[in-house]
Amino acid sequence: MDTKPDTTAPSYDDVVTRIDSDPEGFWLDQAATLIDWVKEPTRAVDDSNAPIYRWYPDGELNVCYNALDRHVENGRGDQTALIYDSPVTDTVRSITYAELLDEVSRFARALSERGVTKGDRVVIYMPMIPEAAVAMLACARLGAIHSVVFGGFAPNELAVRIDDTAPKAIISTSCGVEKNRVLEYKPMLNEAIEIAENRPDFTVIVQRDEHRCELGEADVDYAEILAQTPEGIAPVTVKATDELYVLYTSGTTGKPKGIVRDSGGYAVAGAFSMPAIFGLHPGDTMFTASDVGWVVGHTYIVYAPLLAGVTSVLYEGKPVGTPDAGAFFRAIEQHGVNVHFTAPTAMRVVRKEDPNGELMKKYDLSSLRAEFLAGERLDPDTYEWTTKTLAEATGRDIPVVDNWWQTETGWPIAANPLGLTRFPLKAGSPTKPVPGYQIEVLEPGGTPVKAGEEGLIVMKLPLPPGTMATVWGDDSRFISSYLAAFDGYYLTGDSGYLDEDGYVYVMGRTDDVINVAGHRLSTGIIEAVVASHPAVAEAAVIGVHDDVKGQIPRALVVLGDSAEAADPATVTDELVALVRKEIGPVAAFRQVDVVAGLPKTRSGKILRKTMREIADGADNPAVPSTIEDRTVLDDLSSVLARG
């Protein structure tokens, strides 16, 4: 399989130069080339309400039409759109563009006949099954605004989101299926609706064979209403500035922020990113091992691949345990995957179970062109292990592409754009800003820092299309949270630096920058050094209170299986010496705890803030409802509290 970039594509520098000189013309050209419009826009960006900008203000389209109908109309109906791969239910099923269009359009009619119309909200509370994607696209077809809530969310958190969006309907399922258990959704959904003040008119339930639930008066069976709806419905035209979806950030306290994504800008950005960043074109296959409850799943399981005519793998399983650490690579071989996209945490747990990549080597990965990793900082050690192990398994140098972005942006801010110019990779960096994003690094007072100096990462306004339009129902919160800190800039909330070559380094959230006796240090830099030790499988470094120095770093490390014979005390001494050598005594690094596991959200993010608050003795440490396994945190609490 040829892994070289498309030499007919424009270079990165050409695209950046064009955007800098004529952003209006560039983004209008992309809109005209990539998207089919009911009314083609004549303006790219509306700045009349700055600092809130809107993209393609006079354009009209339907996103579902662009994701499905036009491919069928252009003769691609028999191409596979979705591959449902579920090792937890031992199911693999391919769904063509024509088949997906049929089910989506009929389900959209079923919703319409029950009163769902343009502008209504629909909450989707589902696991990784094809019906979740069908529900999202059916809402888009009607011009209804979907809000996907991660499957298995606690009832109270689901209720908060129900109240904030006031949905006309909720689409859910009887259960989720995991390796060793079946998780019943209906009792949690019932409790959430009981708690909520804004109750839906009706709910649609997908009954799964692994557990069928009892339906109430307001519930309708998904399969039954589809059987009763033989004809589909035409797509509803919406304005490009109309909301496509609301996706909530996983806050720990207070009212969650509903990130609003518009229709036109998001469609253009998603379609632009597939060839430019991922090097993918119609007929290629992408396997994004995420969840539709997260932004990565919205953009790179559902919308962007389908907008680009790419086949998307929808995977219901884990990187390990379903059945083993070769699970991803089995799917890559079986489905001829060209680009695989997952989180660094996933590769770390694969490494922990299969440190030499023996399971990876069992599979034919000749179709694979690139491995993308995002969702958290990609530490250099994980990057280097993934690169080395893939090369050993395939006999080829497969790019391991770190990419940095946020729920708020909807698509990558920084990445190595494989379809434009493939830059030399640097461990610890997601490479360069994606064309359209203008990244700067500032001191807290607003002064730009020099290359190589860490500061606050900001982006010049307007942000490119596809980024957040506002906070649901609260423009003032959008401005105060993101736009008010520095005039003309979006505050990312991340710290980092740009090197002399313009490469971006994201070191962590701004609250992960600690002050040790007057010296500002990033815990991310210390963490990278700790994680580079060969005995360490995972690491988290937090800043904790110190009476003398103000704050000091504290490391919690999980040892790899290959390090079972290592003496924890010896590893601790070696880590302290390593940080002293690489960073210096200024870090005041001397506390290391070897632990069995680190608490994480279901998307794989380590709960550093929660651990920091426990270590500092907070009365009510913030624990996000997205925590994957509360027992890990409970087991760790006594260690953290010891100080």
Whether 504 and 404 have beta carbons less than 8 Å apart is answered as yes
Q: Assess whether pLDDT exceeds 60 at residue 519.
A: no
User: CA dist 585 to 273, 380, 522, 543, 590, Å?
Assistant: 43, 22, 14, 16, 10
Exposed / middle / buried, residue 4 (Cβ in 10 Å: 0-12, 13-18, 19+): exposed
- Range name among 279-283, 321-325, 525-529 with the lowest pLDDT average: 525-529
Q: Assess whether pLDDT exceeds 60 at residue 134.
A: yes
Residue 13: φ, ψ to 5°: -65, -40
Mean pLDDT, range 278-290, rounded to an integer: 97
The mean pLDDT value of the chain amounts to 91
What's residue 476's pLDDT? 96
Count how many Cα atoms sit within 13 Å of the Cα of residue 242 in the half-sphere of its side chain.
23
- 444 and 521 belong to one structural domain: no
Whether 558 and 598 have beta carbons less than 8 Å apart is answered as yes
What's residue 215's pLDDT? 96
- 487 and 521 belong to one structural domain: no
What's residue 623's pLDDT? 82
Q: Which of 454, 477, 492 is the last residue of a domain?
A: 492
Q: Assess whether pLDDT exceeds 50 at residue 85.
A: yes
Query: Confidence band (pLDDT; 50, 70, 90) for 68?
Result: very high
Whether 538 is in a domain gets the answer yes
What's residue 2's pLDDT? 40
What's residue 256's pLDDT? 77
User: CA dist 190 to 125, 186, 216, 251, 328, Å?
Assistant: 12, 6, 9, 23, 34
What's residue 526's pLDDT? 86
Whether 374 is in a domain gets the answer no
The span from the CA of 481 to the CA of 483, in Å, is 6
- 471 and 615 belong to one structural domain: no
Q: Which of 457, 492, 527 is the last residue of a domain?
A: 492
Whether 420 is in a domain gets the answer yes
What's residue 643's pLDDT? 64
User: CA dist 196 to 163, 363, 375, 535, Å?
Assistant: 6, 48, 31, 48
Q: Which of 456, 475, 492 is the last residue of a domain?
A: 492
Q: Assess whether pLDDT exceeds 60 at residue 366.
A: yes
- 488 and 528 belong to one structural domain: no
For residue range 450-493, list pLDDT tens digits in order.
999 989 999 999 999 999 999 999 999 999 999 999 999 999 98
The span from the CA of 562 to the CA of 298, in Å, is 36
One-letter amino acid of 578: L
Q: What is the DSSP string of 203-226?
A: EEEE-BTTB-PPP-TTEEEHHHHH
- 484 and 523 belong to one structural domain: no
For residue range 228-248, list pLDDT tens digits in order.
999 999 999 999 999 999 999
One-letter amino acid of 162: I
- 570 and 609 belong to one structural domain: yes
Q: Assess whether pLDDT exceeds 80 at residue 374.
A: yes
What's residue 157's pLDDT? 80
Mean pLDDT, range 328-343, rounded to an integer: 97
- 83 and 212 belong to one structural domain: yes
**For residue 530, what is the domain's CATH number?**
3.30.300.30
Burial code (b: 16+ CB inside 10 Å, e: under 16) for 8-24 equals ebbebeebbeebeeebe
Q: What single DSSP character describes residue 362?
A: G
Whether 437 is in a domain gets the answer yes
What's residue 71's pLDDT? 98
Count how many Cα atoms sit within 13 Å of the Cα of residue 114 in the half-sphere of its side chain.
26
User: CA dist 64 to 144, 375, 486, 493, Å?
Assistant: 11, 26, 37, 33
Bridge partners of 202, per DSSP, are 169
What's residue 253's pLDDT? 42
Check residues 364 and 584 and name the one with the higher pLDDT: 364
Whether 105 is in a domain gets the answer yes
State the pTM of this model. 0.84
What's residue 254's pLDDT? 52
Residue 67: φ, ψ to 5°: -80, -25
What's residue 5's pLDDT? 45
- 281 and 230 belong to one structural domain: yes
What's residue 376's pLDDT? 76
**For residue 298, what is the domain's CATH number?**
3.40.50.12780
For residue range 200-210, list pLDDT tens digits in order.
999 999 999 99
Whether 368 is in a domain gets the answer no
Bridge partners of 448, per DSSP, are 442
Cα distance from N-terminal residue to C-terminal residue, the chain: 53
Longest dimension (CA), the chain: 73
- 428 and 573 belong to one structural domain: no
Whether the upstream peptide bond of residue 624 has omega within 30° of 0, thus cis, is no
Q: Assess whether pLDDT exceeds 90 at residue 385.
A: yes
- 466 and 579 belong to one structural domain: no
What's residue 129's pLDDT? 98
Task: Strands of 336-473 (E only): list them.
Answer: 339-342, 370-373, 400-402, 414-415, 432-433, 439-442, 455-460, 470-471
Whether 348 is in a domain gets the answer no
Domain span holding position 540? 517-642
Say how many domains are in the chain. 2
Whether 49 and 97 have beta carbons less than 8 Å apart is answered as no
Exposed / middle / buried, residue 5 (Cβ in 10 Å: 0-12, 13-18, 19+): middle
The span from the CA of 380 to the CA of 539, in Å, is 12
Proportion of the chain above pLDDT 70, given as a percent: 94
Q: What is the DSSP string of 247-312?
A: EE---SSSSPPEEEEESHHHHHHHHHHHHHTT---TT-EEEE-S-TTSHHHIIIIIIHHHHTT-EE
Q: Assess whether pLDDT exceeds 80 at residue 544.
A: yes
Whether 107 and 135 have beta carbons less than 8 Å apart is answered as yes
Of the candidates 100, 160, 166, the residue with the CA atom closest to the CA atom of residue 133? 100
The span from the CA of 137 to the CA of 145, in Å, is 10
Mean pLDDT, range 425-450, rounded to an integer: 95
The span from the CA of 490 to the CA of 488, in Å, is 7
- Within 8 A by CB and 6+ apart from 444, the residues are 455, 456
What's residue 210's pLDDT? 95
Parallel/antiparallel/unpaired status of strands 591-594 and 238-239: unpaired
Check residues 437 and 604 and name the one with the higher pLDDT: 437
The span from the CA of 100 to the CA of 94, in Å, is 10
Whether 463 is in a domain gets the answer yes
For residue range 392-404, list pLDDT tens digits in order.
999 999 999 999 9
Query: Confidence band (pLDDT; 50, 70, 90) for 618?
Result: confident
Query: Confidence band (pLDDT; 50, 70, 90) for 515?
Result: low
- 555 and 476 belong to one structural domain: no
Q: Assess whether pLDDT exceeds 50 at residue 502.
A: yes
488-491: long-range pairs with CB below 8 Å, 24+: 488/51, 488/460, 488/461, 489/440, 489/442, 489/458, 489/459, 489/460, 489/461, 490/458, 490/459, 490/460, 490/461, 490/463, 491/456, 491/458
Q: Assess whether pLDDT exceeds 60 at residue 511.
A: yes
For residue range 589-599, list pLDDT tens digits in order.
989 999 989 98
What's residue 7's pLDDT? 54
Residue 119 Rama label (left phi>0; alpha psi -120 to 50; beta): left
- 542 and 486 belong to one structural domain: no
Query: Confidence band (pLDDT; 50, 70, 90) for 509?
Result: confident
What's residue 393's pLDDT? 96
Whether 512 and 524 have beta carbons less than 8 Å apart is answered as yes
The span from the CA of 466 to the CA of 203, in Å, is 30
Q: Assess whether pLDDT exceeds 60 at residue 26.
A: yes
Whether 175 and 182 have beta carbons less than 8 Å apart is answered as yes
